[in-house]
Amino acid sequence: MVIGKNSQIKMNNNIQNILSKNKNVVSSSVHRHDKSRGTFEPSYKKKNEFKNGSDVVKIMSLGGFGDVTQNMYVYHYLPNGKEENDSILIVDVGVGFPEEDIFGVDLIIPDFNYVSRRRDKIVGILLTHGHEDHIGALPLFLREINKSMNVYGSKLTLGFANEKTKEFGSPVKYNQININDKLKLGPFEIEPIRVTHSIPDAYHYFISTPVGNFYHASDFKFDLTPPDGKGSQLEKIGRMGRRNILAIMSDCLGSERDGFTTSERDLAVMFDKHIGSAKGRVFVTAISSNLYRWQQAIDSSKKYGRKICLVGMSVEKNIKMAKRLGFINYEDSDLVKPKKIKGIKDSQITVLIAGSLGQTGSSLDKVVVGKHPCIKAKPGDKVIFSSPDYIPGTSTSIYDMIDNLIKIGVDVVYHENEENLHVSGHASKQELALLLELTRPRYIVPIGANYRHIKQFENLTKKLEFPQDSFIIPKEDQILNFGPGIYLKKEEKLVLRKVLVDGLGVGDVGETVLRDRKVLAEEGMIVSILIFDTKNKKLVSDPQVMSRGFVYVRQSEELIKSISNLSKDVFNEIVQGEMDFSSARKQIQGKIEEMVVNQTGRQPMVLPIIIEV
């Protein structure tokens, strides 16, 4: 996206000031590039300055490198390279969202196995910010390890985390880190750096270890005009860069975009435009933790004389928690309860509502289909989808919801018909370049992105004249090994499972179950029920055949009759003397599948059931 001219001038001036104050960041930082020799010479600490030349820090992603969500990173320090007196630091414990072909699954979470087997080695968990893909799996992780755990983060991030975990009763102690704090957890020394994102109070972390310094740059952008006035600590990042960073773990989801990412503040114009021009009720939906959007929607609504109604547990809980902590502003008198909304003119109400991802059963979904107890969508309403670039697996649900709203006669404002509806929370190319120039790491590890973003990030580092061996593209399940001042190129891998959450079940839905659900969804099911008289050793009657999602029985009587006859013939042929029902079921299933494919070209799930009476 393109930012406004005045914002661009201010941004460039601010950056020039930062770089002038840190004029030695590039020239005398971690390394220098000797073009005449064509080599890359690090000015990193010499090996003999480290405690032990055999020490190792292993870094891995339990959600898998090359994935935008399921953020969970492990820093595992091994003295002398051995699992003895070793320590583990965890950064983030996030969830992922299933693609549309993963039927019936609510969430995907990281594979905790590596750390749960070493739970006594965990010295703490750092949280970078309050988005679901960074904190959403924390309750499940705490439940699995079943051990008291110290969790560290900013004030707001811990507020979000506490809201998620308190209902589980997990043994956890939250520890707030302020921007000037220094934290020591075992062999890890940690300093937070405030950065801007699409959510307030986000941190990067400078992590010192016995083998070198690491900079964990989770989701960020350099917004110089954030709505809360709290910008990124660029000067501090520059100071960190002068302390010899061995490797940076950097978000690069915005690496395909040129320039700088638009400021969150610019959305105020959009909210004023659409709320100010609306004649009826206005509904605003966004990610429930996206406080900047909620604040700007509240401010615009108040400007145009509208009351605010909070609808949806996640929205109400997060907004009220953020107000309590001082991160969002409104008066209690600005709010109206959903059951009182009918007593207020349509032109005087704005509803902040959950359901921006089109989730079935969400508050917005209930309003659309008429199942909400207090509110029903109607012609004249306006719905603003101030949601991010669609999260993988959600686009179909979102578009279905938009279509249903339009059918009702609602005016829908969404990503494709409003250019300034959303701004990304992720750094574009110039911001990524600025981060790298300020930190000048020896090695660069891309995180929080797909491989197309990683490739663009790699191209950017080449333009910045980083040497080719400095950019590490890990495989999904790779373990990165760092020794004192150096990356150790070892072929070491994790065993990562895809852990799926379905309702209250965690990990009990595997590939076989998903495959069955896929078949049921796409092809349907045939059930052939055979009732066997054990005394007379014969079928009581012809097999009863039921179809679910395959064919309509009344219009396919001939096919249903053929399946019944085939079931009976195969059963009678097999069950002679010995009652081998297991073999009978398998052969009936195979014969029915073969016949159905030949006659219909389809492959429904076939389930023969033999009942003994």
Read out DSSP for 147-181? S-EEEEE-HHHHHHHHHHHTTTT--EEEEE--TT-
pLDDT at 444 exceeding the cut of 90: yes
Residue 34 located in a structural domain: no
Q: What is the pLDDT of residue 516?
A: 45
Least confident stretch, 268-272, 389-393, 448-452, 515-519: 515-519
Q: Is there a single domain that holds both residue 178 and residue 238? A: yes
Q: Is there a single domain that holds both residue 209 and residue 300? A: no
**Judging by DSSP bridges, how do beta strands 499-502 and 212-217 pair with one another?**
unpaired
Instruction: From 391, 413, 435, give the residue that closes a domain.
Output: 413
Domain that holds residue 531: 524-612
Q: Is there a single domain that holds both residue 388 and residue 532? A: no
Residue 234 located in a structural domain: yes
Hey, is 193 helix, strand or coil?
strand
Q: Is there a single domain that holds both residue 84 and residue 207? A: yes
CATH number at residue 317: 3.40.50.10710
Q: Is there a single domain that holds both residue 327 and residue 428? A: no
Residue 567 located in a structural domain: yes
Q: Which residues of 410-433 are buried (b: 16+ CB within 10 A; e: fewer)?
A: bbbbbbeebeebbbbbbbbbbbbe
Neighbours of 495 (CB within 10 A): 8
State the pLDDT confidence band at 501, using cuts at 50, 70 and 90: low
For the segment 324-347, the average pLDDT, to the nearest whole number, is 96
pLDDT at 455 exceeding the cut of 90: yes
Q: Is there a single domain that holds both residue 301 and residue 328? A: yes
State the pLDDT confidence band at 508, using cuts at 50, 70 and 90: very low
Hey, is 123 helix, strand or coil?
strand
Contact 97, 393 (CB under 8 A): yes
Residue 579 located in a structural domain: yes
Q: What is the pLDDT of residue 299?
A: 97
State the pLDDT confidence band at 26, using cuts at 50, 70 and 90: very low
Q: What is the pLDDT of residue 263?
A: 94
Distance CA 295, CA 334 (A): 13
Q: Is there a single domain that holds both residue 140 and residue 84? A: yes
Torsion, Cα 187 188 189 194, to 10 degrees, reads -170
Tens digit of pLDDT for each residue in 252-303? 999 999 999 999 999 999 999 999 999 999 999 998 999 999 999 999 999 9
Distance CA 311, CA 352 (A): 6
Instruction: From 455, 471, 502, give the residue that closes a domain.
Output: 502
Q: What is the pLDDT of residue 547?
A: 78
CATH number at residue 588: 3.10.20.580
For the segment 358-380, the average pLDDT, to the nearest whole number, is 93
pLDDT at 34 exceeding the cut of 50: no
Who has greater pLDDT, 18 or 508?
A: 18
Tens digit of pLDDT for each residue in 52-62? 789 999 999 99
Tens digit of pLDDT for each residue in 392-413? 556 778 889 999 999 999 999 9
| Total domains present in the chain | 3
Q: What is the pLDDT of residue 608?
A: 83
Interior angle at CA 503, CA 497 and CA 504, nearest 5:
80
Instruction: From 472, 502, 532, give the residue that closes a domain.
Output: 502
Residue 348 located in a structural domain: yes
Q: Is there a single domain that holds both residue 313 and residue 229? A: no
Q: Is there a single domain that holds both residue 245 and residue 378? A: no
What percent of the chain has a predicted confidence (pLDDT) above 90?
Answer: 61
Who has greater pLDDT, 444 or 27?
A: 444
Residue 509 located in a structural domain: no
pLDDT at 223 exceeding the cut of 50: yes
Who has greater pLDDT, 612 or 433?
A: 433
Residue 588 located in a structural domain: yes
Q: What is the pLDDT of residue 392?
A: 57
Over the chain, what is the mean pLDDT? 85
pTM tops 0.95, yes or no: no
Residue 89 located in a structural domain: yes
What percent of the chain has a predicted confidence (pLDDT) above 70?
Answer: 83
Q: Is there a single domain that holds both residue 118 and residue 212? A: yes
Lookup: tokens for 252? 């690069």
Q: Is there a single domain that holds both residue 67 and residue 182? A: yes
Tens digit of pLDDT for each residue in 126-170? 999 999 999 999 999 998 898 889 999 999 999 999 998 987 777
Distance CA 68, CA 73 (A): 13
Q: What is the pLDDT of residue 41?
A: 39
